Structure 1
Amino acid sequence: MARVCQITGKRTRVGNNVSHANNKTKRKFYPNLQTKKFFIPEENKWITLKVSASALRTITKKGISAVLKEAKANGMAV
């Protein structure tokens, strides 16, 4: 699976390594992804999502049901 957050859509970004001599070489910035299991009480089942650390904070704040509803509306979630 790709390195993409299933809630926020964060993905790998591209940038440069810049040396002291100001030489630039390509590098990748990977999102901080975690694989987590969440229980959805409405459906009485567990789901496994690959989510970024910022998405985990959002889930903690709003709840998994609200976040999944938002993500589906934005075309992101499973």
Structure 2
Amino acid sequence: MKSCGICGKGRKKVIKRKKLRGHYNPIKSYFQKSNIQILNFNGKKLEVCKECRKLILKGKIKV
């Protein structure tokens, strides 16, 4: 399972729901995956999520 090397964000389980006669009923469950990207930074290959990638390139997170 891939996860962010900085914040640890990975996949999470969510349940799809449908409204029927005023109530939300669970339909199915599935996993949402975070947007993990490979970033080449100072000669290192890092697997980071999109939010951490933006902060690294702006210089707000030191790697």
State the TM-score, normalizing by the size of structure 2.
0.76
What are the residue-to-residue correspondences of 1:1-78 with 2, within 5 Å? Answer: 2-21=1-20, 22-39=25-42, 46-62=43-59, 66=62, 68=63
**Equivalent AA in structure 1 for residue 30 of structure 2:** R
Contact kept, 8 Å, 2:39 with 2:53, in 1: the verdict is: no
User: Quick one: distance in 1 between partners of 2:2 and 2:57?
Assistant: 22
- Structure with more of its chain in strand, by fraction: 2
User: Quick one: distance in 2 between partners of 1:13 and 1:23?
Assistant: 16
Which 4+ runs in 1 deviate beyond 6 A? none
- Structure with more of its chain in helix, by fraction: 1
What is the CA-CA distance between 1:20 and the residue it aligns to? 5.0
Contact kept, 8 Å, 2:37 with 2:48, in 1: the verdict is: yes
Q: The residue matched to 1:60 in structure 2 has which SS?
A: helix
Is there any run of 5+ residues in structure 1 with no aligned partner, and where? Answer: 40-45, 69-78
C-alpha RMSD of the superposition? 1.8
Alignment match, 1:71 = none
